[in-house]
Structure 1
């Protein structure tokens, strides 16, 4: 293949579907045309645009060097907890179906480090899989602690077997919850900690890593943290520099919804500050960051903002739009 799919969104074919664990479907996606799929790096995710018009994000969990196929894995969420995407993929999507996807984005990149400690819970194993493959290829010192409700619910256990005792599989019904005191109780120099999984696990890991060096912990959430209070929100102006247009964002409103309601077409997806699709460059003003993506250093720099959730400290924000 001598050229890549270069549109921001494009169609792929579901080449195969397999059950990776109880209630986890692994999909192999291939390009519709003869084009190579876009490049990606460990930690990347893609948007999947469903026939209903909703958009869901799934981590790429295959081999980044394979430009002919992507792999994603989808956990079937109970109807009362999910938003409909996983139910469609588990009950209606079939091999040979055509679905539309977005280009990979990486809000959870693997940094260079002498050592890595990976902590995964449930479907949180998906972005970790290509990370440990890359750590192994680099010759880095690494370890994976992988927890789940039961062994049968934990995807890709067989695939992880090739790494031997570097991987610790901990089904909760047999071993209890992950012993984070043992795993994270002693900070280790030159070790990056990567964690993905349910909110409870992430919050516990964040607490344990408070004694680790600053910047050691890297996390990715599948659901946003508890919403920030909005009682103190005040109205502010958002200026679109390229369009020379100004709008007022009212308390309780978002920049994104304000722009959309005024006919401004802006890319967005999760609308929860988690996927990065609506990120914009800030030219003037101080963002009030409420996303789950930007690092503390990026927040301090104030150069970017996720307009689906974040607001403004002050009365005016100028965007490069």
Structure 2
């Protein structure tokens, strides 16, 4: 993982085009206001759209990383959301200037000879550049893409060029994705990349554990066992301060109140913005970013949601 404690640059981006990519899905193409290249990114990366005070949302980049003149994101309208997707759908128009932060990549594509990609709904946006990269590299790959209906599934036409490597499975036509069949027929050692709604991610995790599986969540991972609920102390190594974190307080809130500069965005453990290096102590990981090996190592933590299993936690702040 990348240590993202320090502030990342915020830049302006012009909305070049806006279009409907599927039922309930709006696509934005962003360019640099004065022309020229945008920051580089790799498959799996996302950007933050700073939509207003306290309104920051993360969206996967789903275009071509080799094309530095434009970024592409697609936003699913969330009727029960917190307002970000509604703003994108109802208010953003071509020509608008947006404030953007990133890119950041917590979901990188690892080199492999074979892949199984599993997308559910808008989760296809994170996997589109991965599919292109795997195909360009000559890897053995397959994409299993599910959605409510064909009309709700973005980028089906774009994926058609890959032929039989892509299985488009609308639920109203084919039922739930055949995860058991896809995993059973995947090449030996294939890496599995999955992005989509929580029920799909949990179903894949139940069938495919270990380092071959890589998932990205748009919503926080359910925390079934949260033992670290007591108050504890955080030592800020660089500033030499000790901060008390109450039982009902996040590490992020406590250290920011003490004057520590920690960048944050989602505040729910999904974006990786507040990842902080741990120097001593044992974190109680409650994020949806770190994999099991990274959690076991305890080298970093997401301070917006994670806590401590030891009375004292020392951070590189």
Q: TM-score normalized by structure 2?
A: 0.94
Provide Cα deviations, 1:164-195, integer angstroms capped at 9, x if missing partner: 11111111111111122211245642201111
Tell me which residue corresponds to 2:4. Answer: none
SS in 2 for 1:280: strand
- Aligned counterparts of 1:15 and 1:265: Cα–Cα separation in 2: 34
- Aligned counterparts of 1:307 and 1:7: Cα–Cα separation in 2: 17
- Aligned counterparts of 1:103 and 1:175: Cα–Cα separation in 2: 38
Tell me which residue corresponds to 1:69. Answer: 70
- Aligned counterparts of 2:186 and 2:155: Cα–Cα separation in 1: 29
Q: 1:253 aligns with which of 245, 249, 252?
A: 249
Tell me which residue corresponds to 2:3. Answer: none
Q: 1:264 Cα shift? A: 3.3
Task: Answer yes or no: is the 8 Å Cα contact 1:185–1:208 preserved in 2.
Answer: no
Task: Answer yes or no: is the 8 Å Cα contact 1:12–1:29 preserved in 2.
Answer: yes
Tell me which residue corresponds to 1:92. Answer: 91
Residue 270 (structure 2) pairs with residue 271 (structure 1): no
Q: 1:35 Cα shift? A: 4.4
Ranges in structure 1 where 5+ consecutive residues have no aligned partner: 1-5
SS in 2 for 1:103: strand
- Aligned counterparts of 1:238 and 1:86: Cα–Cα separation in 2: 36
SS in 2 for 1:50: strand
* Aligned length, in residue pairs: 311
Provide Cα deviations, 1:230-280, integer angstroms capped at 9, x if missing partner: 575111111111111111111121100112333434210011111110011
SS in 1 for 2:163: helix
- Aligned counterparts of 1:317 and 1:239: Cα–Cα separation in 2: 6
Q: TM-score normalized by structure 1?
A: 0.93
Tell me which residue corresponds to 1:14. Answer: 15
Task: Answer yes or no: is the 8 Å Cα contact 2:228–2:307 preserved in 1.
Answer: no
Tell me which residue corresponds to 2:148. Answer: 149
Residue 163 (structure 2) pairs with residue 164 (structure 1): yes
TM-aligned CA distance change 1:231 to 1:7, over 3 Å: closer
Residue 43 (structure 2) pairs with residue 42 (structure 1): yes
Ranges in structure 2 where 5+ consecutive residues have no aligned partner: 1-6
- Aligned counterparts of 1:153 and 1:187: Cα–Cα separation in 2: 27
Tell me which residue corresponds to 2:120. Answer: 121
Structure 1 vs Structure 2 CA RMSD: 1.6
- Aligned counterparts of 1:71 and 1:122: Cα–Cα separation in 2: 17
Runs of 4+, deviation exceeding 4 Å: 228-232
